[in-house]
Amino acid sequence: MKILKQTLIAFAFIALPFSALAQSLDFQKLLDSVVLIQTLKEGNGTPEGPSGGIGSGFYVTPDTIATAEHVVGKSDFFTITSRKYPGRKFKGKVIARDKKTDLLLIKVSFKGAPLPLNPDPIHIDQTVYALGHPFSVVWSVSKGIISSPWRLRAVDGMTSNVVQTDASINPGNSGGPVINTKGEVLGVSSFILAPARGSNGVNFAVSSMHLKRILDSVVEYGSFRRYTLGVAFKFDNDHMQIVEVKNEKIAKFLQKDDYIMEINNSPILNDVDLARELIAKTPTTPLRIRVQRGQQQILVYIPDDALIKSED
């Protein structure tokens, strides 16, 4: 689990009656879709044993597991444990990695039931559950609410959306699902803010919109591809003004001093609007942009090959 700027201290584990959490959800079944991921030390090109790296993951297809990228990181050796296969540890193959949004996909040979991704808008005070392995207390559930459905996080120039929750997320929860009362994934546990004297319940999960984008990209292209406009911009009177076009392919469609008014019929008034539309874009569908160019408004349709950029 990543801890930002401040220090995390351990809490005593308080066991709640399972019936207090479970109402209409079958948590035993949901936890069968959650896996334990453990990274291993490397010695002479072979794994030597546990390095202390513990994280969570969950099935998004019958043979694909999603987790946080920092759970595996640069390690070439990791094992996966499932409740459905007690006493056994499995290997997996990384098929997609996005360091900037902290997401990773792993292909596995042992099957599991995928958790559905939430298709609906999320809202403040919505009840959620975080599933995972906090402090190596395996297959645990914590309950909370959505504190904010949309927080922007900037990493290496890439702006992404994270969901804020007060559901307990601790070391070991990273990569686990945050789900709603329907059992749909709203986000992937990623990082927390914690003071020296304990957790304030300020916890963050990578939005499932990012996860869906990576899954769609892998299905369409066999790898992860990021969508970007390839322009530098500023906001002038609540409108996005292009100050530099950095991509030659984009230059066929957009020009310096263009104002981007809408993308896919949604007004672009700030960074949040822009990030939302790029996240929501699906493979092979052109990006529809309404541009103010001088005294004239025009529509441009930007194809995938001008937008996408392969990620390692």
pLDDT tens digits for range 56-95 = 999 999 999 999 999 998 787 899 999 999 989 999 999 9
Range of 3-12, 21-30, 97-106, 191-200 with top mean pLDDT: 97-106
Q: Is the pTM of this model over 0.75?
A: yes
Residue 217 and residue 96 in contact, taking contact as beta carbons nearer than 8 Å: yes
User: Which segment of 38-42, 88-92, 132-136, 284-288 scores lowest on mean pLDDT?
Assistant: 38-42
For 17, residues 6+ apart whose C-beta sits below 8 A from its C-beta are none
Q: What's residue 200's pLDDT?
A: 64
Query: Span 268-275, mean pLDDT?
Result: 82
Residue position matching structure tokens 């990273």: 174
Query: Span 91-114, mean pLDDT?
Result: 93
Quick one: fold of 225-310? Pdz3 Domain (2.30.42)
| CATH for the 114-220 domain, from 3.90.226.30, 1.20.1250.20, 2.40.10.10, 3.40.50.920 | 2.40.10.10
Q: What's residue 293's pLDDT?
A: 95
Residue 203 and residue 164 in contact, taking contact as beta carbons nearer than 8 Å: yes
Higher pLDDT, 48 or 89: 89
Residue 274 and residue 280 in contact, taking contact as beta carbons nearer than 8 Å: no
In the chain, residues under CATH classification 2.30.42.10 are 225-310
266-267/127-132 β-pairing: unpaired
The rounded distance, in Å, linking the Cα atoms of 47 and 280 is 39
| Single-letter code of the amino acid located at 138 | V
pLDDT of 185 > 70? The answer is: yes
Structure confidence at residue 1 as a pLDDT band (50, 70, 90): low
The rounded distance, in Å, linking the Cα atoms of 164 and 178 is 10
Quick one: fold of 27-107? Thrombin, subunit H (2.40.10)
For 11, residues 6+ apart whose C-beta sits below 8 A from its C-beta are 170, 198, 199
In the chain, residues under CATH classification 2.40.10.10 are 27-107, 114-220
> Which residue in 31, 16, 64, 10 sits closest to 177, CA to CA?
31
pLDDT of 195 > 80? The answer is: no
Residues known to be catalytic: 70, 102, 174
Residue 112 and residue 83 in contact, taking contact as beta carbons nearer than 8 Å: no
